[in-house]
Amino acid sequence: MRSWAERGSGFAYACLAGTAALLCLPIGNPDIFWHLSAARWMAEHRAFPRTDWLSSTMAGRPWCDFEWLTELLWHAVHKAGGLPALWALKVLLLAGAAALLWRLLREAGAPFFDRCLGLLLWALAAAFANDLRPENFSLILFLALFLKLEGRRLAPPSGFSPREAAAAVAVFALWANLHAGFVFGLMLLGIFAAGDLLRRRGPALAFLLLLAAAAALLNPYGGEVYAVPARHAAELPELSRFIREWQETSLLQHWLWPFWAVLALSFAAALWRQLRRRDLPLEHLAVLAAFALPGVRHVRTAVYFVSVALPIAAACLRDSGRSPEREPRLPTFLRAALGLAAGAFLCWNFLAPYKRFRPFSPMHVPVHAARFLADEASALGGLRLLNPWHWGGYLGYALPAGMPVFVDGRYIFHPLLRPLWEANQTPEAMAEFLDRNAIDVAVTPRTPQFVVTGELKRPFYLFFFPKERWALVHFDDKALVFARRSALPAAWLADREYRLFRPDDLTAAYRMVREGKASAADAARDVRRFSLRFDGDPELSGLAVAARQWLRSVSEDAPR
């Protein structure tokens, strides 16, 4: 007789389908573009970048590109097939990680249904890592290392062969040139090495740990691959205030609930095994504790904890004294409940991108603002540009030479995070920041922030970029572009400035025209310019239609 988990194959395959749907989500990481910029530079110069060349703020400053090998691979794939090919690479890499997790769950004794459910929980709990990132390679190598170490733990004690030593050197040398996540591999190897020493199984893993740590130095930047992560770790308290991926894994964010479910499940399973059988492996307890702490403190590192927690939970819940055909009622109920909850959570949070699927989601990049800046490069080139942290990678890749960004997602810009945040707190702070940094062109997100003046709510930018000094020369659904009046010819500004038809301020513009304080002709000129730019655009043509409808209502009510 087959177990309940095996009989519920339809439910199990639904879990696999949900996992596949999650792994096939579009790319959304805006940082891929500064990686592609670095790869493009390497391809053009036949050298490794050692100083910054993309920004105006850090130009010439030292930069350790410890992800250079990943970037060159991305560059080759992108050159061959564009963003769809990069999406396919992302799916392939995450599928490889899922296959390794499947094997870990199988080796831990999880039945078929539990393996399917485990993959779905993993994909949900590690949702932040479900993107195209250099960490994709770290995740595969981390899972492969855990699989190898688990197999060694269960085998009789032995030394290591020259082949194993060579493999350790090769893997960690490769890993250190792909992504700095190799330090988590060293951490995992160190835990199992300590376990061997405490249980008197020999120093083989300790020697392999030393070899692996030395092998990581086989890269173009030498010891910098250790220095940069160390500096990064020291900066984490500050980074967690300003960068979402380095913030804590909060229970208040509903999309992180699966992580907390896995955390609770894994520690409960470990406690159950210790209380029931008193044979919880020391390595499992140490791995859970060591990776839970960074997973709870920072969203970015949660994937490493989830990847080890699920196999450990499966191993802890395996009851060697019970026949699989006679599973207890409670675990069966819990499995079904977990599966239903995971499916509902998937539908609630992750189905929206499939309504209009594309390999890359431009939600987090200023596509139209970048196009405007590139079109106006002859006038704007050489002027000092201000941009948000998360848009710098895309702008640096999309804009022509001579238009350096202010910041992007690289670690060298961490010192600018606080000044940028402080500048956005008050109009006075922003004015001082813009003048101190000699900013002539500012690209800023179009956010729904308002100031109440009289009976109206006016948009924030009227106060942070006052029209006496700044001209609004472009806007779209995501971005606003302002130009300093003193930095550009008056004729150029006159042809591009939006004086009345401005985002989130149309009620005020309507009143100004109706009361005779502004001309309907000025509004018509603004709408005509906006329509010429966005008519025919598949995403923003609707805004152009709405603009003309607004203009008709303004013209009808304008004084004669």
Alpha carbon distance 265, 51 (integer Å): 46
As a whole number, mean pLDDT of residues 445-464 equals: 90
CA distances from 536 to 367, 473, 479, 540, 541 (A): 15, 20, 19, 8, 6
More confident residue, 224 or 156: 224
Answer yes or no: do 263 and 370 share one domain.
no
User: Is 249 contained in some domain?
Assistant: yes
Give the count of beta carbons closer than 10 Å to the beta carbon of residue 332: 15
Least confident residue range of 34-48, 90-104, 137-151, 511-525: 511-525
pLDDT in the model for residue 92: 98
Are residues 462 and 504 both part of a single domain? yes
Find where tokens 């201000």 sit: 386
Residue 320 is predicted with a pLDDT of 46
At 466, give phi and psi (nearest 5°).
Answer: -60, 140
Compute the average pLDDT of residues 474-488.
97
- Is 398 part of a structural domain of the chain? yes
Give which of 468, 545, 554 is closest to 505, Cα–Cα.
554
Rounded CA separation 340/496 (Å): 54
**Sign of CA pseudo-dihedral 350, 353, 357, 362:** negative
pLDDT band at 334 (very low <50, low <70, confident <90, very high): low
397 with 441, same domain: the answer is yes
Q: Cα(225)–Cα(48) distance, rounded to whole angstroms?
A: 14
Cβ(537)–Cβ(545) below 8 Å: no
Contact between 23 and 34 under an 8 Å Cβ cutoff? The reply is no
Residue in 114, 125, 137, 102 with CA at minimum distance from that of residue 5: 114
Residues in the chain: 560
Pick the more confident residue, 558 or 265.
265
The amino acid sitting at 124 is L
- Give, in order, the Cα–Cα distances in Å from 86 to each of 90, 93, 328, 360: 6, 10, 45, 9
pLDDT in tens, 50-66: 999 999 999 999 999 99
Q: First vs last Cα of the chain: how many Å apart?
A: 88
Residue whose structure tokens are 């691979």 = 73
**Distance from C-alpha of 311 to C-alpha of 125, rounded to nearest angstrom:** 14
Instruction: Identify whether 69 is part of a domain.
Output: yes
Decide if 414 contacts 239 (C-beta within 8 A).
yes
441 confidence band (pLDDT: 50, 70, 90): very high
Total domain count for the chain? 2
Strands 470-475 and 456-459: unpaired
Same domain for 317 and 425?
no
Percent of the chain with pLDDT over 90: 70
Both tokens assigned to 137: 């390679």
For residue 263, being part of any structural domain is answered with: yes
Domain-terminating residue out of 313, 331, 356: 356
Tell me which of 356, 378, 400 is where a domain ends: 356
Examine residue 56 and state whether it is found in any structural domain, yes or no: no
547 belongs to a structural domain: yes
What is the mean pLDDT of the segment spanning 42-47?
98
Q: Please state the rounded mean pLDDT for residues 379-398.
A: 97
85 and 198 co-located in one domain: yes
> What secondary structure, in 3-state letters, does 131-168 show?
CCCCHHHHHHHHHHHHHHHHHHHHCCCCCCCHHHHHHH
Contact 149, 312 (CB under 8 A): no
- What was the pLDDT predicted at 358? 87
pLDDT value at 543 more than 80: yes
Domain check: are 179 and 124 in the same one?
yes
Residues 352 and 369 in one domain: no
Query: What band does 14 get if pLDDT is binned at 50, 70 and 90?
Result: confident
Q: What is the pLDDT of residue 194?
A: 96
* Of 401 and 437, more confident: 437
Note the pLDDT of residue 517: 86
Give the model's confidence band at 330: pLDDT under 50 very low, under 70 low, under 90 confident, else very high.
very low
Token pair belonging to 384: 């000092």
**Is residue 347 scored above 80 in pLDDT?**
no
pTM above 0.85, yes or no: yes
Give CA separation, 287 vs 276, 525, 557, in Å: 20, 65, 70
Residue 42 in domain: no
**Cβ–Cβ under 8 Å, residues 490 and 513:** no
The single-letter code of the amino acid at 99 is: A
Contact 24, 359 (CB under 8 A): no
- How confident is the model at residue 171, as a pLDDT? 98
Residue 49 lies in a domain: no
Q: Could you tell me if 70 and 18 lie in one domain?
A: yes
Q: What is the mean pLDDT of the chain?
A: 91
End position of a domain, from candidates 356, 378, 399: 356
Q: How confident is the model at residue 453 (pLDDT cuts 50, 70, 90)?
A: confident
- Please say if the pLDDT value at position 115 is more than 80: yes
Q: What is the DSSP string of 180-245?
A: TTHHHHHHHHHHHHHHHHHTT--SHHHHHHHHHHHHTT-STTTTHHHHHHHHHHHHHHHHHHH-GG
**Residue 352, pLDDT score:** 66
The answer for residues whose C-beta is within 8 angstroms of residue 387's C-beta and 6 or more apart is 395, 405, 406, 407, 442, 443
Given pLDDT bands bounded at 50, 70 and 90, which one contains residue 328?
very low
- 76 and 142: one domain? yes
Instruction: Report the distance separating Cα 333 and Cα 270, nearest Å.
Output: 20
- Residue 5 pLDDT more than 50? no
DSSP code for 62: B
CB count, 10 Å around CB of 449? 14
Boundaries of domain holding 207: 4-30+64-356
CB distance 405 to 420 below 8 Å: no
Same domain as 314, residue 421: no
Q: Confidence band (pLDDT; 50, 70, 90) for 13?
A: confident
Q: Please, which residues bridge with residue 470 across strands?
A: 484
Element (H, E) at 255: none
At position 462, the amino acid (one-letter code) is L
What's the confidence (pLDDT) of residue 461?
96
pLDDT at residue number 542: 86
Contact (CB, 8 A) for 483 and 443: no
| 76 and 212 part of one domain | yes
Confidence of residue 1 (pLDDT cuts 50, 70, 90): very low
Whether residues 371 and 467 share a domain: the answer is yes
- Contact 509/462 with Cβ under 8 angstroms? no
- pLDDT per residue as tens digits for the range 484-522: 999 999 999 999 999 999 999 999 988 888 888 888 888
480 near 503, Cβ under 8 Å? Answer: yes
Of all residues in the chain, the percent with pLDDT exceeding 70 is 92
Give the integer Cα–Cα distance in Å for 58 and 211.
36
For range 97-125, the mean pLDDT: 94
